[in-house]
Amino acid sequence: MNPHVITAKSTLDKKSKINNTLLERHQRNGNYFWRIISLLAVFFILGIIGFVMKLNSGFNDKVIWGYYAAMFAFILTTAQAAPMVAIAPRLAKAHWRRPISRTAEIWSIVGLFNLILFIPILWVLPSLEDRRRSLWFWDAAPGFESVPVFSPHIWTTLALCSLVFIGIMLLWLSALPDLALIRDKGTGWQQKVAKKLSKNWIGTSKQWHWLYHRLGILGALYFAMMVFVHFLISIDFLLVLVPGWIDALLPITHAANALQAGVATMMLTMFCLRKFGGYKDYIGYDQVWGLGKLLFALSLLWFWFWFSSFNVFWYGKKPNELSVIDLLTTGPYLIIFIGVFLLNFVFPLFMMIWNPIRRSFWGPPLIAVGVIIGTFLDRIRLYVAAYSVPGIGDPNVSKHALPTHSLPTHLPEISDVFIMLGYISGSILVFMLATKIIPVINIWEQREVVMYEIHKKFHRTEVKILGKPD
Partner 1 sequence: MQEHIQLNQKEINDISLSPILETPKWWLPAVLITFGFIVTGLAAFFYMVYHGLGVTGLNRPVFWGFFIVNFVFWIGISHAGIMISAILRLTQAEWRRPITRAAEVLTVFSLMAALHTPLFHVGRPWRTYWVFPYDFSRGVWPNVRSPFVWDPSAVGTYLIASTLFVIICLLPDLAIIRDRTTGLRSKIYGILCLGWRGTPRQWKMQTIVGILLSALVLPVFVSVHSIVSWDFAVIAGVEGWHSTIFAPYFIIGAIHSGVSAVATFMVVMMWVWKGNDKILRPDHLDAIGRLLIIVATTWFLFLFLEVAFALFTLERPEIALRELQFFKWPFSGLFILFLLTSYFIPVPMWMFKNVRRSLPLMFISTILVNVGMWLERFLIIVPSLSRKTPFAFDWGSYTPSIVEILIVTETFAFVIFGLLLFSKFFPLIPLFDIKEGMVFRDEIKIGRRTVPASIRE
Partner 2 sequence: MKRSIIGLFLDENLAADALDDLRKAGYEMDEYEVLTGLPYPEGTFGEDEPKHKLYRWPLFGAVCGFIMGFMITAGTQVAYPLVTGGKPVLGVPPMAIIMYEGTMLGAIIFTIIGVVFESRLPRIFMGAYDTRITEGYIGVTVTTSEDKIEEAEKILKNIGAEDIKRGWE
Residues that bind partner 2 (CB under 8 A): 307, 310-311, 314-315, 317, 355, 458-461, 463
Return the number of the residue (338 or 463) whose C-beta is nearest partner 1: 463
Q: Which of residues 82-101 bind partner 1 (CB under 8 A)?
A: 92
Q: Are 464 and 455 in contact (CB under 8 A)?
A: yes
Residue 305 within binding range of partner 1, rule CB under 8 A? yes
Q: How far is the CB of 275 from partner 1 (least distance, A)?
A: 27
Residue 157 within binding range of partner 1, rule CB under 8 A? no
Exposure string of 96-126, with b = 16+ CB inside 10 Å and e = fewer, is: bbbbbbbbbbbbbbbbbbbbebbebbeebbb
Q: How far is the CB of 407 from partner 1 (least distance, A)?
A: 22
Return the number of the residue (3 or 188) whose C-beta is nearest partner 1: 3
Q: How far is the CB of 408 from partner 1 (least distance, A)?
A: 27
Residue 209 within binding range of partner 1, rule CB under 8 A? no
Q: Which residue of 123, 210, 304, 362 would you call a contact of partner 1, by CB under 8 A?
A: 304
Distance of alpha carbon 409 from alpha carbon 390, whole angstroms:
12
* Binding partner selected for residue 1 from partner 1, partner 2, none, CB under the kind-specific 5 to 8 Å limit: partner 1
Residue 313 within binding range of partner 1, rule CB under 8 A? yes
| 80-88, 304-312, 328-336, 430-438 -> range binding partner 1 (CB under 8 A) | 304-312
Compute the half-sphere exposure of residue 121: CA atoms within 13 Å on the CB side of its CA: 27
Residue 315 within binding range of partner 1, rule CB under 8 A? yes
Q: How far is the CB of 399 from partner 1 (least distance, A)?
A: 7
Strand partners, 457: 462
| 52-60, 113-121, 189-197, 302-310 -> range binding partner 1 (CB under 8 A) | 302-310
Distance of alpha carbon 374 from alpha carbon 264, whole angstroms:
11
Q: Are 64 and 384 in contact (CB under 8 A)?
A: no
The size of the interface with partner 1 (CB under 8 A), counted in residues, is 47
Alpha-helical (H) ranges within 28-150 are 33-55, 66-77, 84-91, 98-106, 110-124
Residue 325 within binding range of partner 1, rule CB under 8 A? no
Distance of alpha carbon 145 from alpha carbon 108, whole angstroms:
37
Compute the half-sphere exposure of residue 416: CA atoms within 13 Å on the CB side of its CA: 15
Residue 6 within binding range of partner 1, rule CB under 8 A? yes
| 16-24, 263-271, 418-426, 456-464 -> range binding partner 1 (CB under 8 A) | 456-464
Residue 317 within binding range of partner 1, rule CB under 8 A? yes
Give the x/- contact pattern for partner 1 in 211-250, rule: CB under 8 A. ----------------x------------------xxxxx
* Binding partner selected for residue 469 from partner 1, partner 2, none, CB under the kind-specific 5 to 8 Å limit: partner 1
Coil, strand, or helix at residue 344? helix
**Cα angle, residue 369 at apex, residues 84 and 105 outer, rounded to 5°:** 25
* Binding partner selected for residue 355 from partner 2, partner 1, none, CB under the kind-specific 5 to 8 Å limit: partner 2
Q: How many residues does the chain have?
A: 470
Q: How far is the CB of 252 from partner 1 (least distance, A)?
A: 6
Crossing angle of helices 363-387 and 332-341, in 10° steps, is 150
Compute the half-sphere exposure of residue 406: CA atoms within 13 Å on the CB side of its CA: 5
Compute the half-sphere exposure of residue 387: CA atoms within 13 Å on the CB side of its CA: 27
Q: Which residue of 308, 329, 330, 360 would you call a contact of partner 1, by CB under 8 A?
A: 308
Residue 12 within binding range of partner 1, rule CB under 8 A? no
Compute the half-sphere exposure of residue 244: CA atoms within 13 Å on the CB side of its CA: 22
H or E element at residue 400: none
H or E element at residue 456: strand 453-458
Q: Which residue of 58, 316, 332, 395 would you call a contact of partner 1, by CB under 8 A?
A: 316
Residues at the site binding partner 1, with contacts judged by CB under 8 A: 1, 3-7, 92, 133-135, 137, 140, 227, 246-252, 293, 300, 304-305, 308-309, 311-313, 315-318, 399-400, 451-452, 454, 458, 463-470
